Amino acid sequence: MPSWLEQVDVGLMVSHRRLLDRRRLPRALGPWVLDSGGFTELSMFGEWQTTPTAYVAAVRRYADEIGNLEWAAPQDWMCEPFMLERTGLDVAEHQRRTIANLVELRTLAPDLPFVPVLQGWTLDDYLNHADAYTAAGIDLVREFLVGLGSVCRRQGTAEIARIVCAFTPLRLHGFGMKARGITRIRPWLTSADSLAWSLRGRHTVCTHGAKTCANCLPFALAWRRAMLERRARHGVQLVLGEWAS
């Protein structure tokens, strides 16, 4: 929730769709990252209706008024089969548009921290997308972070582990991770965001004034602490920043 930005100093992920209509923006106490809201926008409309120019203007406002923005997701195109049906396009075209958008955003605002996102469905898809980034002059190895998209619904599969392992030299961020996914592939991730706490909170009676804990800050923080403790028990050496989204 946007108001959490001014209440806690832990890493948060906040969606552009939750921020864009706010006249007053919170001032962030800690680091945060911006989700573009692409999954919702493509699911609703089958295309991006927010223009790159409008998105850049919004991100610049967030960076200036909220502060502490670490990075922002581009207007990428997810590659789940149901999303391809919604847009009527294929994986290759979604990948092409994802790269084209990043290039346009960085051209419009080279000072804003937009990160590349790898999209695909099979391992070959992701490898082809990485090659396409190289052909576009974007060296993913030199990027401070690379998002890994279209993984939220299949994190328990062996294929996802193979995909993540294939990009070991990269500093990867896992979008929409579940607890099981973080546990399975955390050694190869630099950071991750998750809504798993909220899904669990829907079935938890809230003791902080709401009907459930689906949007409960104390519940989200408790889930985050549990994930960090689990990581510590397993002795993972890489830095894993779990973001609450």
| pLDDT given at position 230 | 73
| pLDDT given at position 180 | 67
- DSSP one-letter string for the chain: -GGGGGT--S-EEEEHHHHTT-SS-PPPSS-EEEE--HHHHHHHHSS--S-HHHHHHHHHHHHHHT--EEEE--------HHHHHHHT--HHHHHHHHHHHHHHHHHH-TTS-B--EE--SSHHHHHHHHHHHHHTT--GGGSS-EEE-S-TT-TTSHHHHHHHHHTTTS-EEETT--HHHHHHHGGG-SEEEE-HHHHHHTTSB-SSSSSBSTT-HHHHHHHHHHHHHHHHHTT--S--EEEE-
pTM over 0.85: yes
Number of domains in the chain: 1
| pLDDT given at position 175 | 87
| pLDDT given at position 213 | 72
| pLDDT given at position 244 | 45
Report the CATH number that the domain containing residue 32 is assigned in CATH: 3.20.20.105
Range of the domain at 100: 2-244
Q: Which residues of the chain have pLDDT under 70?
A: 153-157, 179-184, 197-211, 231-245
